[in-house]
Structure 1
Amino acid sequence: MRNLFKFAFVLGTLLLSEEITSAQTPQNSVKVLAVHDGDSYKIQLIEPTWVRIMGIDCPEIISNHITENQPYGVAIGDSIRQILKGQNVDIQIYGKDQYGRTLAKITFQGQDLADYILSKGWGHYLSPSKFDNATRLKYRKSRDIAKKNHLGIWAGNATNPKTWRKTHWK
């Protein structure tokens, strides 16, 4: 019970913080309540919380800020939804992004979810400085193999989600 209180206190402090911190929380198991798109999920922490997975950027879907679905966005979101919704995942929280979403590394059934998504060709690789060199190398390798084999977004003319957001932002 004492450890649960300590975790709740640390997590609550982290979630209330406005700035991104380089310190991470211990890995903890949480339930996935909803999947918005390939890299954004609602999980149950102390209260339902939107989380942005670190290390990847997946195609966008229509939202409060995006006016049009990006190619592959709906299919990738649906695929991840089938895998994760209602399941427990392990997360390590790294802080918040510029939109207030919690940033986390997510593991599902022992597999690094960002690496899995990159290996399927479902997202673009980002290089988070908070990850060690081995993790960044693993992510690049998974992305490169998917790209070489024309998997997922690499089967066609993949537009980077960052570029898509610039031209389809409300």
Structure 2
Amino acid sequence: MIRAAVLAAGVLLAFPAFSGEPLAGRASVIDGDTIEIHGARIRLEGIDAPESRQTCMTKETGQVVRCGQKAAFFLADLLAEHTVTCTEAGKDRYGRMLAHCAVEGQDVGASMVRAGWALAFVRYSREYLPQEEEARTAGAGMWATEFVAPWSWRRGAR
């Protein structure tokens, strides 16, 4: 019994997110708004990126662009070999940690939206609306294409 309690305490200490502490480490990119650190799936709070299979069409040439893949690649380049620090904001309906994450003091969600590879997820937060307006004005990322918002795409509006 004591051995099990000691083991459980060790597991909790190994995963700081369970203790209220920020979770930090090198991240693996799952898609444009989801990463994994130390086996914990983390959904970036306040943003919604195109789904991995989602495509967009360039405004100038009508060429199909794999915008979901481009969003994931942009996030991977942003995180690169850096330590990512995430502060939990709750859980989503799939049990993933919702978090604000940073790399070298830079808000990852803000960077994704400003680059145009994610949208402000206004259903849950208005935090990134200024960055979205900046991206839209600049024609950055998805804003250089005709696209369906990720939340509509998931509901079948393709």
TM > 0.5 between the two? yes
- Residue 81 of structure 1 is matched in structure 2 by 76
- Residue 159 of structure 1 is matched in structure 2 by 148
Aligned length: 136
Indicate the SS of the match to 1:51.
Answer: strand
Query: Which residues of structure 1 form unaligned runs of 5+?
Result: 14-24, 62-67, 130-134
Query: Which residues of structure 2 form unaligned runs of 5+?
Result: 1-9, 57-66
* Aligned sequence identity (%): 27
AA matched with 2:150: P
AA matched with 1:55: G
**Given the superposition, is the C-alpha separation of residues 10 and 91 from structure 1 closer, same or farther in structure 2, using an over 3 Å criterion?**
closer
Whole-angstrom CA distance in 2 between matches of 1:118 and 1:69: 17
How far is 1:30 from its partner?
2.3
Alpha-carbon RMSD? 2.5
Moved over 4 A (4+): none
AA matched with 1:56: I
- Residue 30 of structure 2 is matched in structure 1 by 36
Which whole-Å deviations, capped at 9, do the CAs of 1:121-145 have from their partners, x for residues lacking one? 111102445xxxxx82xx2111101
**Given the superposition, is the C-alpha separation of residues 83 and 161 from structure 1 closer, same or farther in structure 2, using an over 3 Å criterion?**
same
- Residue 20 of structure 1 is matched in structure 2 by none
Whole-angstrom CA distance in 2 between matches of 1:11 and 1:77: 24
- Residue 56 of structure 1 is matched in structure 2 by 47
How far is 1:26 from its partner?
4.1
**Given the superposition, is the C-alpha separation of residues 10 and 122 from structure 1 closer, same or farther in structure 2, using an over 3 Å criterion?**
closer
**Given the superposition, is the C-alpha separation of residues 97 and 78 from structure 1 closer, same or farther in structure 2, using an over 3 Å criterion?**
same
**Given the superposition, is the C-alpha separation of residues 10 and 77 from structure 1 closer, same or farther in structure 2, using an over 3 Å criterion?**
closer
Indicate the SS of the match to 2:17.
Answer: helix
Q: TM-score scaled by structure 1?
A: 0.70
AA matched with 2:78: I
